[in-house]
Amino acid sequence: MSTSLAGQVVVVTGAGGGLGRDFALQMGAEGASVVVNDTGVELDGSGGNASRAQSVVDEITAQGGSAVASTDSVAGWESARQIVQTAVDTFGRIDAVVNNAGIVRDRMIFKMSEEEWRAVIDVHLHGSFFVSRAAADYFKKQESGAYVHMTSTSGLIGAIGQANYSAAKLGIVGLSRSIANEMARYGVRSNCIAPFAWSRMTSSIPTDTPEQRARVEKLQLMQGSKVAPLAAYLVSDGSNVSGQVFAVRANEIYLMSQHRPARTMHRSEGWTVETIGEHLIPALNSSFTPLEVTTDVISWDPV
């Protein structure tokens, strides 16, 4: 099976800039017809600028590729259906969805408002489901299709001030696993990528302390275009990978572990509050997951 995307129709959400633009350009160059979807909003989801999607379409067509702009939001059931409809109306089919659109509303949990929570869950988690759901009708019928969803080590490992984002991004992993399990019999694949890339999203990271400034300098070395080849491979017919979680940082590609039982203990007479404290916790303690954030776990410089 070929890893070329010739003849494929791919929807990339949030493709008017950042990583989505890199995905759209790479997939367009590999021969796919691309629906460049983007509402053109600010980092916090406010506003909207239809020209951002069109300018990436212009870049792809200037390279000799085929693309169409879509400015519908991923965050609504109907508008998400319209994104997939744009692929079918323009190119006659849909073969892959890259769920990449995103916003951030960072806030410590004890200050986060209902609106900040809902806005982030709406775009990332609901949006990924809505677009996936709309494409699923076609994928099931044609017995082929591929999903790539952007997750984040904020959810997979840990972050500070991103409870809404972390929850949405880990929710997307559950969504992807469910799609992979439920649609394997229809020849449909679903995988996640946790990218590391310097973009306007990461440019919102504060640079108040020397440690924060050093971290941002490293992030600037990580180009979104380094993530695009894996996304393109995962949607190609040459791939039979499904249900996996990858991370990409500069020239490193990581396969991330997934949750499985780490240890188990039993007492034939059952557990009491006292025996949990006296027996279970001391026995399991050395296997507990430390309270770490991404930089504690992936602590080396980008390669």
Evaluated on CA atoms 29, 234, 181, 246, the torsion sign reads negative
- When CB distances to ligand NAI are compared, the closest residue is 18
Backbone angles phi, psi at 218, to 5 degrees: -70, -40
- Beta-ladder partners of 148: 98, 191
Q: What distances in angstroms separate CA 43 from CA 102, 103, 111, 201, 207, one per listed residue?
A: 8, 5, 19, 7, 17
CB of 74 to ligand NAI, least distance (A): 4
DSSP track, 25-83: HHHHHTT-EEEEE-----TTS-S--THHHHHHHHHHHHTT-EEEEE---TTSHHHHHHH
Q: Stretches 87-95, 111-119, 132-140, 189-197: which one binds ligand NAI (CB under 6 A)?
A: 189-197
Q: State which residue, 125 or 180, has the beta carbon closest to ligand NAI.
A: 125
If the CB atoms of residues 73 and 236 are measured against ligand NAI, the closer one turns out to be 73
165 is catalytic: yes
- The helix (H) or strand (E) run that includes residue 132 is helix 127-142
Pick the closest to residue 283 from 297, 263, 268 (CA basis). Answer: 263
**Distance (Å, whole) CA 212 – CA 292:** 16
3-42 residues in contact with ligand NAI (CB under 6 A) are 13-14, 16-20, 37-41
Nearer to ligand NAI by Cβ, of 261 and 300: the residue is 300
The answer to whether 195 contacts ligand NAI (rule: CB under 6 A) is yes
Nearest approach, Cβ of residue 117 and ligand NAI (Å) = 16
Show contacts with ligand NAI in window 55-74 (CB under 6 A).
73-74
Question: Which residues, numbered 93-112, are part of the site for ligand NAI (CB under 6 A)?
Answer: 100-103
User: 119, 196, 231, 232: which one contacts ligand NAI (CB under 6 A)?
Assistant: 196
Interacting positions 113-152 with ligand NAI (CB under 6 A): 123, 127, 150, 152
- Are the beta carbons of 267 and 279 closer than 8 angstroms? yes
Compute the least distance from the CB of residue 140 to ligand NAI, in Å.
Answer: 24
CB neighbour class for 84 (10 Å; exposed up to 12, middle 13-18, buried from 19): buried
Q: Which is nearer to ligand NAI, 125 or 136 (CB)?
A: 125
Interface residue with ligand NAI among 61, 89, 160, 200 (CB under 6 A) is: 200
Q: Name the minimum Å distance from CB 26 to ligand NAI.
A: 14
Please report, for residues 14, 16, 168, the alpha-carbon distance to residue 52 in angstroms, rounded to integers and kept in the order given: 10, 5, 25
Question: Which member of 138, 147, 165, 186 is catalytic?
Answer: 165
Rg (CA), the chain: 20
Does 294 interact with ligand NAI (rule: CB under 6 A)?
no
Tokens 């649609």 — which residue? Answer: 183
**Shortest distance, CB of residue 109 to ligand NAI, whole angstroms?**
19
User: From the list 29, 31, 43, 239, which residue makes contact with ligand NAI (rule: CB under 6 A)?
Assistant: 43
* Contact set with ligand NAI (CB under 6 A): 13-14, 16-20, 37-41, 43, 45, 73-75, 100-103, 123, 127, 150, 152, 194-197, 199-202
Active site residues: 165
